Structure formats: structure tokens, C-alpha cells
């Protein structure tokens, strides 16, 4: 059977759609990957004392590895002194030590679950990175 040389605009548009639509449907739709790097904290102010309590952990990728800036508040009105320590990251799991205290943590899109060497666990909420410099 011989096709006519002339074609209608509808036929050409249909052929183009038959080529483009499967390509668009075949490409995987990937959601953005969650990164362990970020700012996590659960600082609160004691109701009766006004003392700052809680913890802040900032996971920073740098120099081919990861580092953690850790602040642990145990009373007092000022932000605690930060400790800058190396961190080991495997997937969404993080390990770091501050002094003699070893911490293991698991990150997700909204929080970092941190366990100290005594087995006590606390959940630190992920904050916008700009919150670090307020």
C-alpha cells in the first residue's frame, strides 16, 4: 500500500505524540533525596528556671567527609559552647563523640534521633539552615 505524500496536520501531530508521550512516561519520577546534612535541635527554655536545655547538632559535609557541630545545654541562659568534631556517616546513620560521650543518630526528612552512650534517646527536629545564624 502506498501512502500519499500529503498528510493532514492531525496525522502529523498524532505521530509526534506517539513518539514523545512514551518517552515522558518512561523517565523515572524521582523525589529529591533526603540528605543527612542539616541543622537539628530541641532547645527549650525551662518554665520555672529560664535555663536553656536540650541539644543542637549541625551535620556538615566538608573535605570529603562529615563533621558535627554539637551544643549541649545543661542549664544557664546562654547558648552552650559548640564542639566541632568529626562524624562518621553511613547512609542516614551518624556517629560522633564529644569528649568521652559517644553518640549514634539516625536522620530522616524531619528529625535526628540521637542516642548517647548511656542509651538515652532524644529527638532533634530539623530546622532551616538559616536558623543557625539567627
Domain that holds residue 123: 38-128
| Tens digit of each residue's pLDDT (9 = 90 or more) over 57-93 | 999 999 999 999 999 998 777 778 999 999 999 999 9
Please give the tally of structural domains in the chain. 1
| Tens digit of each residue's pLDDT (9 = 90 or more) over 16-57 | 444 454 555 555 555 446 689 999 999 998 888 888 889 999
In a domain, 95, yes or no: yes
Q: Rounded distance, CA 111 to CA 102, Å?
A: 19
CATH of the domain at 54: 2.40.128.20
C-alpha cell at 58: 549541625
- Residue 30, pLDDT score: 52
Neighbours of 14 (CB within 10 A): 10
3-class secondary structure per residue, 32-48: CCCCCCEEEECCEECCC
| Tens digit of each residue's pLDDT (9 = 90 or more) over 114-134 | 999 999 999 999 998 776 665
| Residues 1-28, mean pLDDT to the nearest whole number | 50
C-alpha cell at 73: 545545654
In a domain, 80, yes or no: yes
In a domain, 28, yes or no: no
In a domain, 9, yes or no: no
C-alpha cell at 90: 553511613
| Residues 2-8, mean pLDDT to the nearest whole number | 52
In a domain, 23, yes or no: no
pTM above 0.75, yes or no: no
- Residue 33, pLDDT score: 60
In a domain, 82, yes or no: yes
Q: Is the model's pLDDT at 9 over the cut of 70?
A: no
Amino acid at each position: 500500500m502506498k501512502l500519499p505524500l500529503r498528510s493532514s496536520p492531525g496525522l502529523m501531530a498524532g505521530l509526534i505524540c506517539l513518539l514523545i508521550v512514551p518517552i515522558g512516561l518512561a523517565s523515572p519520577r524521582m523525589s529529591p533525596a533526603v540528605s543527612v546534612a542539616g541543622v537539628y535541635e530541641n532547645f527549650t527554655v525551662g518554665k520555672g528556671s529560664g535555663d536553656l536545655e536540650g541539644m543542637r547538632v549541625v551535620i556538615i559535609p566538608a573535605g570529603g567527609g562529615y563533621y558535627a557541630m554539637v551544643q549541649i545545654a545543661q542549664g544557664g541562659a546562654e547558648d552552650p559552647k559548640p564542639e566541632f568534631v568529626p562524624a562518621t556517616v553511613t547512609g542516614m546513620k551518624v556517629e560522633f563523640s564529644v569528649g568521652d560521650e559517644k553518640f549514634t543518630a539516625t536522620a530522616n526528612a524531619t528529625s535526628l534521633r540521637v542516642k548517647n552512650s548511656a542509651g538515652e534517646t532524644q529527638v532533634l527536629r530539623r530546622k532551616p539552615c538559616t536558623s543557625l545564624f539567627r
